[in-house]
Amino acid sequence: MSSCTVCPRTAPDGQHLCQLHAGELRGWLAEIPAQALLLAEEFVARSARPAQGRVGGTGQAVAPVPVDLRVLALLGPGRYDPQGADDDGQPPIAATLGAWAGHIAYHHPAAHRDPHGIARLQPCEQASPRHGESITGWCAWLTAYLPFALTLPLAAGLHDALDTLVRRLRHLTHSQPQQHPRAAPCPACDLCTLVRTDGRWYVHCLTCGHQLTPDQYDQHAARVLKTRTAIHERTHPMTERVPVRVLLLFGDEAEIVADVPAEERAEPVRYPAADIAAATGVPVDQLAGQRLTAEVGADDQLSDWRVA
């Protein structure tokens, strides 16, 4: 195991980020296309839509909605250097994602044969997203190659860049994925900090970063519930209150039967008359024929006598 380059947590062998921050990267890459679409629909499309004229035409009846230049900068073209500082501090989304994809691709080995037929390895020349060089395409490419990126020292820089980008998007859209706490404790640290975040597949722990698939969490929660139920039953045995009747007194003992018709009664059971008198407040010499209620314990013994 190695140390996470973002926090003091432990990272899996061969990786530079812990499970928590690796999960954040996956979540951000799933969130960014939706945030970009929201920007385009709410800020750009509405300002470009013509207003309806008074006589039913499409003439401009009112002043157009002003466009936030920060939105245009994020959605427009541009360039970004993942190894250097950006000029205006707000690089376009697609340029940021594409630059990081190219930076990762340069470290990925590619096999090819030279003109003499000899197999050689060399860095990839560029990243080629299957779905085109769009925000969605770059996010899909980065998600696919994220396991490889986590093995590179640049993983911390990628985390920092996407963290900054997502914060800008959320600031503009006022939209943020919600966390939904889970009831079962984390199986790794035993703390109740498991959450499911909108847009993320894994249930993850906010404390140690442990991750569970939804099926794994359901199985874990079922085991926890079963264990806690068994412990509760041992420490708080279930009891039932039943109606009984003192049939007769025999010396210091009282014969107790169920308060049901005689043909349905079982054999009487004897209990100390003094204990029954002390619990109910009925003198011993007046117990015979008295109707009571009592709790039936796990061992079928009666206790907690009360006057019916």
Cα distances (angstroms) measured from residue 217 to each of 31, 60, 205: 23, 56, 11
Q: Do 88 and 105 reside in the same domain of the chain?
A: yes
For the chain, give the percent of residues with pLDDT over 70.
86
pLDDT at 198: 86
pLDDT at 64: 53
For residues 213-230, average pLDDT:
92
Q: How many CB atoms lie within 10 A of CB 13?
A: 8
Q: Do 203 and 130 reside in the same domain of the chain?
A: no
Q: Do 154 and 206 reside in the same domain of the chain?
A: no
Q: pLDDT category, 112, cuts 50, 70, 90?
A: low
Selected residue with higher pLDDT from 81 and 147: 147
Q: What is the pLDDT of residues 1-33, one digit of tens each?
A: 788 999 998 999 999 999 889 989 999 999 999
Selected residue with higher pLDDT from 222 and 241: 222
DSSP category for residue 43: I
> Rounded to two decimals, what is the model's pTM?
0.64
Mean pLDDT, rounded, of the chain: 84
> Where are the extended beta strands (E) located within 81-133?
109-113, 119-123
pLDDT at 54: 46
Q: Do 15 and 84 reside in the same domain of the chain?
A: yes
Domains identified in the chain, total number: 3
pLDDT at 78: 82
∠ CA 292-298-300, rounded to 5°? 50
Q: Do 43 and 167 reside in the same domain of the chain?
A: yes
Q: Do 13 and 151 reside in the same domain of the chain?
A: yes
Which residue among 176, 203, 218 closes a domain?
176
User: For residue 73, is it left (φ>0), alpha (ψ between -120 and 50) or beta?
Assistant: alpha
Q: Do 207 and 279 reside in the same domain of the chain?
A: no
Quote the domain boundaries for residue 205. 178-236
Q: Do 45 and 58 reside in the same domain of the chain?
A: yes
Cα distances (angstroms) measured from residue 164 to each of 19, 141, 274: 19, 20, 77
Q: What is the pLDDT of residues 31-49, one digit of tens each?
A: 999 999 998 887 765 555 5
DSSP category for residue 199: T
Q: Do 161 and 226 reside in the same domain of the chain?
A: no
Q: Do 259 and 212 reside in the same domain of the chain?
A: no
Q: Do 163 and 71 reside in the same domain of the chain?
A: yes
Selected residue with higher pLDDT from 219 and 62: 219
Q: Do 280 and 172 reside in the same domain of the chain?
A: no
